[in-house]
Amino acid sequence: MHLQNKNILLGVTGGIAAYKAVELLRFFKKTGANVNVIMTGSALKFVGKTTFEVLSENPVLSDLFSDTKSSVKHIDLAARADAAVIAPATANTIAKLANGIADDALSTTLLAVTCPVMICPSMNTYMYQNIRVQENIDILEKDGFFILDPDSGVLACKTTGAGRLPEPWFIFDRVEAMLTKKDLRNKKILISAGPTLEAIDPVRFVSNHSSGKMGYAIAGAAEKRGGCVTLVSGPVGLKTPAGVERIDVETCEEMASQMLARLESADIIIKVAAVADYKPVNPKTHKIKKKDSTKDFSILMTENTDILKLIGKKKTKDQFLVGFAAETDDLEKNALLKMKKKNLDIIAANLVGTSDSGFKADTNKVKLFFKDGSFFDIPLMDKSKVADTLMDQIIKKRAE
Ligand SMILES: Cc1cc2nc3c(=O)[nH]c(=O)nc-3n(C[C@H](O)[C@H](O)[C@H](O)COP(=O)(O)O)c2cc1C
């Protein structure tokens, strides 16, 4: 679920983490959502209204009685909201919501919303562990509110423990997940991503330009749809998508053994990793020294395990296998050949070597070829949207 054009209500209460709500607002705005901020009186003592008004491009509601001429503002906002998120949520506001108290703009609006609501408790560890606070959180959870557990660590009050507001990118991601239809619930999805590294000696290796961005986006999209996702990843500098089990590997052989160990229980296998086709025959145990006498230097390479082909051979009729083909030319011909050779259900072909698609780019343009001979074009778009479109197609084809 992408939040473009969605109406998000962002409730900010009087906690020390109120400043993080500014960055959260930026994430919503960047994705194209319309955000209305409601602040409690205490929140205004921590962060000014102006920042939220300028960044949201909407007036901030903090006083229930400030503008009752044109419309009943809080009812209007509640009726239009697709999702509400309270970040940070103080012990006080949590208590009010759990008990139906409506004595300010935020608590009154929240009584009137019918959309999904996410509560992000954030407070001192002992406050968080307090029996009343825990009871109130339980009430809200039973009532269908989404509770985002706080992080643990050293808090602003110098206490160490649970109570810290999770990072804004994570809250944003979980709001997207909250709104996403769970059409992969209980399905096991095995994904490989990133490059592999094949050692020449202890300091040098053979690899490729894969950044892992496409595979990580697919893992995130599958998890948001309720999938149980395992991501076998080559070395990349990316954050693990929320809720995804990540297994780090370096070489093709390590990737093969981790993928094959999990193959039997997988419902859908998506191989996005750019595995090195060849590896040095005899990786040296000591660093190879430069010799003044030789100008040329060659490394004897040998074929690596073809992981996709192996999986294609082993897969059962109930398993669905998707491969990626990164080509610099003859995209269609090479992709179709690969699909047949490796017994794939879908091949996602993308041209590499351009700045806006393929390796490293944040966007991608992909053509999906299906086993039945049909195809589907995914035009240039953000990799997270490409991932979602691919998942839609996988679900559709599996159902057929
Ligand atoms: C410096 C300071 C920091 C505070 N931080 C928090 C906090 O992180 N979490 C919390 O639940 N309350 C915190 N409080 C207490 C709340 O501000 C207080 O309970 C207030 O009534 C909450 O009002 P509200 O829920 O309407 O925003 C803090 C108070 C002060 C003075």
44 Cα to the center of ligand 1, angstroms: 11
Does residue 91 line the site of ligand 1, with CB under 6 A? yes
Which residue's CA is the closest to the ligand 1 atom numbered 17?
14
Q: In this predicted structure, what is the pLDDT of residue 68?
A: 59
Does residue 211 line the site of ligand 1, with CB under 6 A? no
Boundary (domain end) residue, out of 179, 204, 224: 179
Q: What is the CATH number of the domain that holds 380?
A: 3.40.50.10300
Domain range for 76: 7-179
Boundary (domain end) residue, out of 129, 151, 179: 179
Does residue 16 line the site of ligand 1, with CB under 6 A? yes
Distance CA 327, CA 334 (A): 8
Q: Are residues 97 and 122 in the same domain?
A: yes
Q: In this predicted structure, what is the pLDDT of residue 69?
A: 63
Closest atom of ligand 1 to 127 CA is 11
Range from 225-234, 353-362, 369-378 that averages highest in pLDDT: 225-234
Asked whether residue 363 is assigned to any structural domain, the reply reads yes
Token duo for residue 322:
């998707």
90 Cα to the center of ligand 1, angstroms: 6
Q: What is the CATH number of the domain that holds 112?
A: 3.40.50.1950
Measured distance between the N- and C-terminal CA atoms of the chain, rounded to whole angstroms:
23
Closest atom of ligand 1 to 96 CA is 25
Closest atom of ligand 1 to 94 CA is 25
358, pLDDT greater than 70: no
Give pLDDT tens digits for 180-224.
999 999 999 999 999 999 999 999 999 988 899 999 999 999 999
Q: Are residues 171 and 26 in the same domain?
A: yes
88 Cα to the center of ligand 1, angstroms: 10
357, pLDDT greater than 80: no
Asked whether residue 116 is assigned to any structural domain, the reply reads yes
Q: In this predicted structure, what is the pLDDT of residue 369?
A: 93
Q: Are residues 92 and 228 in the same domain?
A: no
101 Cα to the center of ligand 1, angstroms: 17
Asked whether residue 106 is assigned to any structural domain, the reply reads yes
Using 50, 70 and 90 to split pLDDT, how confident is the model at 255?
very high
Q: Are residues 70 and 112 in the same domain?
A: yes
Does residue 163 line the site of ligand 1, with CB under 6 A? no
Does residue 14 line the site of ligand 1, with CB under 6 A? yes
Give pLDDT tens digits for 143-191.
999 999 999 887 777 778 889 999 999 999 999 999 999 999 999 999 9
15 Cα to the center of ligand 1, angstroms: 4
Using 50, 70 and 90 to split pLDDT, how confident is the model at 362?
confident
Asked whether residue 143 is assigned to any structural domain, the reply reads yes
Q: Are residues 258 and 392 in the same domain?
A: yes
325, pLDDT greater than 90: no
141 Cα to the center of ligand 1, angstroms: 22
Q: Are residues 143 and 199 in the same domain?
A: no
Which residue's CA is the closest to the ligand 1 atom numbered 29?
15
Q: Are residues 150 and 229 in the same domain?
A: no
Which strand ranges, in their side-by-side order, compose the sheet holding 375-382?
A: 245-248, 228-233, 188-193, 268-271, 320-327, 346-351, 363-370, 375-382
253, pLDDT greater than 80: yes
Asked whether residue 249 is assigned to any structural domain, the reply reads yes
Which residue's CA is the closest to the ligand 1 atom numbered 7?
15
Tell me whether residue 157 is one of the annotated catalytic residues.
Answer: yes
Boundary (domain end) residue, out of 179, 197, 225: 179
Asked whether residue 149 is assigned to any structural domain, the reply reads yes
Unique residue bearing structure tokens 């160490």? 160
* pLDDT (mean) for 33-55: 96
Q: Are residues 213 and 105 in the same domain?
A: no
Closest atom of ligand 1 to 92 CA is 25
Among the listed residues 115, 157, 228, 252, the single catalytic one is: 157
Give pLDDT tens digits for 93-147.
999 999 999 999 999 999 999 999 999 999 999 999 999 999 999 999 999 999 9
Beta bridge partner(s), residue 389: none
Using 50, 70 and 90 to split pLDDT, how confident is the model at 348?
very high
For residue 377, with 0-12 CB atoms within 10 Å meaning exposed, 13-18 middle and 19 or more buried, which class applies? exposed
Number of independent structural domains in the chain: 2
DSSP 210-253: --SHHHHHHHHHHHHTT-EEEEEE-S---PPPTT-EEEE--SHH
